[in-house]
A and B are shown apart, each in its own frame.
Chain A
Amino acid sequence: MKKHILFIVMLTALTTTLLFAQGTKEESSNLQSQQIEDNTLTVYAYDSFCGEWGPGQKVVENFEKKTGIKVDLVSAGDGPQMLNKVELEKDSPVADVVLGIPNDLAAKALNSSLFESYSAPALKDIPAHLIFDKTNTLNPFDYGDFAFCYDSEKLAKKDVPTSLEDLTDPKYKGKIILIDPRTSTVGLGLLLWTREVFGDDYLTWWEGVKDNALTITDGWSSAYGMFTEGEAPIVLSYTTSPAYHVMWENTTRYRAAIFNEGHSLTIEGISLVKSSRHKANAKKFIDFVLDDAQADIAVTNTMYPTNSKAPLPDAYKWAPIPEKQLSIDYKDIEKNLDTWLADWTTVMSK
C-alpha cells in the first residue's frame, strides 16, 4: 500500500512537470499581442534596482506622478535570470519592459527575439559609443567603466598604477583583489578588458598578475568588502566607486586609477518586450528612464547616466569618466566566451 502512495506522488510529480511544459505550447496560437488600453505596466528589473532600497521605487513614483500609469516593478533576478523568466513566459506575457540587461548579454537577448526594437527619442542625447545595440532593441540607460580602485592612504602616489601592465609589477605582490569571471559580471568585465587591451595575449597578463593577487573572490561584494577592510590596497571595481564614498562617507580616501589604454565599458539596457500588451505605456516608461530618471539612477545606482543632458552630482568629479572606453563586439563574446573562460581557468589554477 505504502508503495502505491509513493508511486502516485512520483507520478503526480512527473505529470505536473509535463503539464507545466505542455502549457507553454497550448496557448501559442493566440500569441500575437492584442494591445490592451489600460493604465498599467509591468517592469522587470534586477534585484538591487527594485525594492524599497533601490532607485526603482523613486523612478516609478515619479513616473506614475507624471503619467498616471500604474507600474508593477518586479524584481526578476540578475540579467540571465530575467532573460530566462521572460523566455518562460513567452506565451503568457507578464513583463512589458525589461530593465538592466547588460551589453555582455546582448547577443543572448537579441537572439532570443523576445524584444522589439524601439528608437526612443532620447537616444539623440546619448553618445554614439554607448549605443551598443544598433538595432535599438536594448537602449542604454546607464553605464560604468571597470577600473581598479585604490586606497590612497595605503598606496603612495608614485605607486598608483597607470596601466594594466603596471599591475603585473612584483611590487604589488599580495596587494590586488581580483574577482572570478566565472562567477561575477565584474570579474568577467576584467577578463574582457584584458582581451580588449592585449588581444590574444591576454593570458600573459593574467599569468603576470596571478602572483600579485591576494585572492580572487566570487563576487564584487566580497572583493570590495575586503578592500575597505584594508586587506589589500587595490581592488577591481568601477570608476564610479569613489563617488559613493564622497557622497555618503565624506571621504576621498578611495580613488579610481585611470589607465591610458582605456577602460572596459559595461552598459545596461532597457528593452520593450515583443509580446507586451501595453506597448504605448512601455514606450513612455522607456522614454522616462532615458530622460527624466537619469539623475536619480546615477545617484542611487552609482553608475553614469547615459543621457549627456543629465546633471551629475558633485561627487562624480571623483568618478572620472575615462577618455578611452573599450568594448568587444557582443557577437565575439558569445562565440568565444566559453573558450576564454576555460583558458583563463587553466592558467589561473596552475
Chain B
Amino acid sequence: MPSYNVNKKNNFEKIVPLPALILLLIIFLIPLINTLTQAFVEDGSFTLSFIKEAFTSPYTRQILSFTINQALVSTLICLLIGLPGAYLLSNYEIKSKKVILGICSIPFILPSILVILGFVSFYGNNGLLNQLLMKLFNLDEAPLKILYSYKAIILAHSFYNFPVILLLVTTYWDNLNPKLESSSYVFGATRIQTFFNVTLRRLLPSILSSSLLVFLFCFTSFSIILVLGGGPKYTTMEVEIYRQARINMNINAAAAYSLVSILFCIVLLLLYLSSQKLLSSSESIVNDSYYKQKKPASKGGKIAAILYFFMAIIFVLAPILSIIFKSFRGTITRGGDKVFTLKFYRQLFGMESSSGVMNDATPAIFMSLKIATIVALLMIPIVLSLAISTKRKNTFSSNLIELIAMLPIAISSVIIGLGYYLISARATSIPPMILVVLAHLVIALPFALRIITPELDKLPKFLSLSAISLGASPFRAFVDIELPLIKKPLIKAAIFSFATSMGEINATLVLSSSKIETIPVVMYRLIGSYNFAGACALGTILIVVCAIVFITSGSSKKV
C-alpha cells in the first residue's frame, strides 16, 4: 500500500500527543521511575543484589508461573464466555442490547472487596445458591463447594473480566464490513465455515487486545486469588510485592519484584502491539443498509441468545443482587431476626444516626459524580490525541507512546501507590482534586485507548486525505471527517473512563491524603468499621448510578 505523505498532517500528528504524554509523564512515569529505581539502591549506593534475588529465586519462579497459569486459564474462560455473547450481539438484532451491555459492564466498577462479598454471599457455603439447593433437595450440607479453590479464582476472574471481552469485541465486530461474510456465503460457505475462515481472523486484533487486558488484570489480581482461592497455596506476584512493600517495608525488594512483573508485562504488550499492527485491516465503513442490517434471529438463534444472556445475566447479576439484597437486610430490634429495612440508606443520607463513623454520604456521592464526569470529559481529547499519534504507524516512537499509555494496567497498584506518595508529598500546593482527576485519567487511559485505536485504524486513509486535498487543515479534516465516524467508540471510551473513576480508590486515597471522599473511599471506611451492610447500601448506589449512565448513554448513541 502506498504511504501517503502529507507534510502538514505529520506536523499535526507530532504535536498532538504532547499533552497526553506530559500527563503520563507527571502522574505516572516520574513516580514510577522514582519507585523502580529503588530496586538498584541500597543505603545510597548502587546495587544489583535485589534484582538478582528477584529474578533468580525459585520462589519468584514458582509464583510467577502460577500467576501466569491462572491468568492464562482465566483469559481463556473469559474468551469462551465472552465471544459467543459478542457474536450474538453483533450478528442478531437484539432489542435489549444496550441494557445487556450495561449490566455486563457493572462488575468492572465494583471494588474487589464488594465483589468478594457478593461472591461469598451467593456462591459461598452459606450463600444464597447453596441455601436454595439445600432447601430444594433437603440437604444438611452445602452441596456446592465452589469457593476456596482454584475454580473459584477462575469463576471470579471470569465474572470480573468477560465483560471486557464482550464489550470490546462487540464494538469491533459491529463495524466490520459484513459484505465479506456475504461474499463468503455466496461462494457456498456455511455460517460456521464463514465464521472460522473469514470473520474470526479479522476479529483477531480485537480478541487479542481484549484478551491482553484480561490477562493483565488477572496477572495483577490479588484479593480475589487469596480470599476465594483459599490462601497462600495460590500466590501471585502482586502478593509478593505487597509483602515486601507493606509488611517487610523493603521498598528495594518490592521495586525489584515489580520490575520482574513489569518486564514480563512489557514483553506481552510488545507482542500484542506488533501483532495488532500486523493484523489491522483497512476495511471500509459500510453504509449499505441491507448488508448492515442484522438478521432477526432464527428460532434456534433466538433460543440460544435468550439462553446465553439469561445465563450471563444471572452470572453477573447474582453476586451484584446479593450485594443489593444485603443492603436491605438488617436487624431492627435487639437480637431480632434480619428483616427488610431501609435503615442503612437512611443512615447513608444522614436521616438516622448510627454508629459513630456513619455520616451523611451525599457529599461523597456528589464528589464521585463530579470527578467521574470531569474524567470522562477530559478523556475524550486526551485519548484522541494519543490515538491519532499512534494510528496506523509502525514506527518506534509511535509504538513507544502506545506502550507507555498502556503501561498503567501492567503496574502493581502497590508500586504506583508508593510512587504517588512522592507526588502527594511534593505537590502540596496543587489541589488534591486535580491530582485525583489526573490519576484517574491515567488509570482509565489504556482502556479508552484500546476502544478507540482499532476504530481509528479502520478508517480508510483517503477519507481525511481527501478532505485535506479539498483545503482542510489536517486538524480540520480530522474534526470534520474522522471524528464523526468514531463518535460511537469515543462515547464508549468516555463511559468506560467514567466507570473506572467511579470505582477507583487507591489513587484517590493516596493523592488526596483522605481529603477527598468518594463512594468507594466511604465504602472502605464502612467495611473497616464493621458496617458491611452500610457498605453494601453504598455499593448499591454506585451500581445504580453506573447502570443509569451505561444504559442512558447506550440508548442516546442511537441518535
Contact = CB atoms under 8 A, between A and B. Distances in A.
Report A-B touching, CB under 8 Å: yes
Interface of A: 1-3, 5-6, 9, 12-14, 16-17, 20-21, 47-48, 50-55, 74-78, 80-81, 83-85, 88-89, 94, 105, 108, 174, 178, 180-183, 185, 188, 213-219, 221-222, 224-226, 228-232, 241, 244-245, 247-253, 299-300, 302, 337-338, 341-342, 344-345, 348-349
B513 A75 contact: yes
Interface string B214-244: 0000000011001111111101000110110
B125 interface: yes
Nearest to A89: B425
Given A84-B418, A183-B246, A230 B30 contact: no
Most interface-central of B29, B222, B417 (chain A CB within 10 A):
B29
Contacts of A48: 525, 528-529
Interface string B81-120: 0000000000000000000000000000000010011001
A222 B116 contact: yes
Contacts of B556: none
Most interface-central of A78, A216, A218 (chain B CB within 10 A):
A218
Contacts of B418: 81, 84
B425 A85 contact: yes
Interface in B421-436: 421-422, 424-426, 428
Interface stretch (B247-255, B276-284, B496-504): B247-255
A231 B129 CA distance: 13
A77 B33 contact: no
A211 B157 CA distance: 25
A231 B126 contact: yes
A269 B22 CA distance: 41
B148 interface: yes
Interface of B: 10, 13-14, 18, 21-22, 25, 29-30, 33-34, 37, 59, 113, 116-117, 120-121, 124-127, 147-148, 222-223, 226-233, 235, 239-240, 242-243, 245-249, 251, 331, 333-335, 354-359, 395-398, 400-401, 417-418, 421-422, 424-426, 428, 509-510, 513-515, 517, 521-522, 524-532
Contact of B530 (A12, A16, A218, A245): A245
Given A94-B425, A217-B227, A341-B243, 16 more contacts: A9-B22, A13-B33, A14-B33, A20-B422, A180-B231, A181-B247, A183-B226, A183-B246, A188-B247, A215-B226, A217-B231, A229-B124, A248-B354, A250-B335, A300-B529, A341-B248
A142 B228 CA distance: 33
A277 B503 CA distance: 39
B425 A2 contact: no
Contact of A216 (B232, B528, B529, B530): B232
17 contacts: A20-B426, A48-B528, A51-B517, A53-B359, A54-B525, A55-B357, A80-B245, A84-B249, A84-B418, A182-B240, A215-B227, A216-B230, A225-B120, A225-B532, A226-B227, A229-B117, A229-B121
A215 B514 CA distance: 31
A13 B333 contact: no
Given A182-B243, A349-B235, A225 B514 contact: no
B227 A249 contact: no
Contacts of B230: 213-216
B514 A1 contact: no
A219 B223 contact: yes
A249 B331 CA distance: 7
A94 B427 CA distance: 12
Contacts of B356: 55, 248, 299-300
Contacts of B124: 226, 229-231
A59 to B, nearest CB: 12
Nearest to A5: B14
B101 to A, nearest CB: 29
